[in-house]
Copies of this chain bind each other. A is one copy, B any other.
Amino acid sequence: MRLLFATGNEDKVREAREILEPKGVKVEHLEIDYPEPQVDDLETVAREGVRYVFRKTGEPVFVEDSGLFVDALNGFPGPYSAYVHGTLGNGGLLKLMEGIRDRRATFRSVVAFCDGPGVSVHVGEVEGEIAGERRGTAGFGYDPVFIPEGTGSTFAEDPEGKSAVSHRRRALDSFAEWMGPSRA
């Protein structure tokens, strides 16, 4: 089965292929901009995005929206994680966390799929904490400063660990399970 993945982020395409191709889903990258509403929940962003892209393409397509929600920062950067990473970077996030003891954070991913009038939404989460400094060189985005629960390594230090437990892995697994063997 072949599915379009509408995103501007090549790294996400690479990750989606690693996760979905072993399940028999061929992921094709569709580079398209879609409007994202300024709302605090990723689900609405993904739902509206995938509807927009489906109207344009008429082909089965999914989008993915993700965010890092830091407890001590009231969920910041949350739905604006990409914008904040582009302006402040990991350095800015670490600066905001200086002197803060509660370093808990959640990475959340929402995959929305559309092949007709309905949209299916699949959510994945991983809890963890913000590291004291950047560590590791793999991955992208906030990977060098996010340590998933139960490990001592950031996503950027342990790409295999990331691939096994990440928010995106969980959302895409749930999506693949929903599709089932007959669809996939």
Contact = CB atoms under 8 A, between A and B. Distances in A.
A37 B48 CA distance: 11
A140 interface: no
A105 interface: no
Nearest to A70: B87
A76 B36 CA distance: 18
Contacts of A38: 35-38, 45, 79-80, 83
Interface in A90-136: 92, 95-96, 98
Contacts of A96: 88, 92, 95-96
A152 interface: no
Contacts of A80: 38, 80, 83-84
Contacts of A87: 73-76, 78
A87 B92 CA distance: 15
A98 B97 CA distance: 13
Interface residues of A, number: 23
A45 to B, nearest CB: 7
A86 interface: yes
Contacts of A37: 35-38
Contact of A88 (B35, B36, B73, B98): B73
Contacts of A95: 95-96, 98
17 contacts: A35-B39, A36-B37, A38-B79, A38-B80, A38-B83, A73-B88, A74-B88, A75-B87, A76-B84, A76-B88, A80-B80, A80-B83, A88-B96, A92-B96, A95-B96, A95-B98, A96-B96
Given A37-B38, A38-B83, A76-B84, 8 more contacts: A37-B37, A38-B38, A38-B80, A75-B87, A92-B96, A95-B95, A95-B96, A96-B96
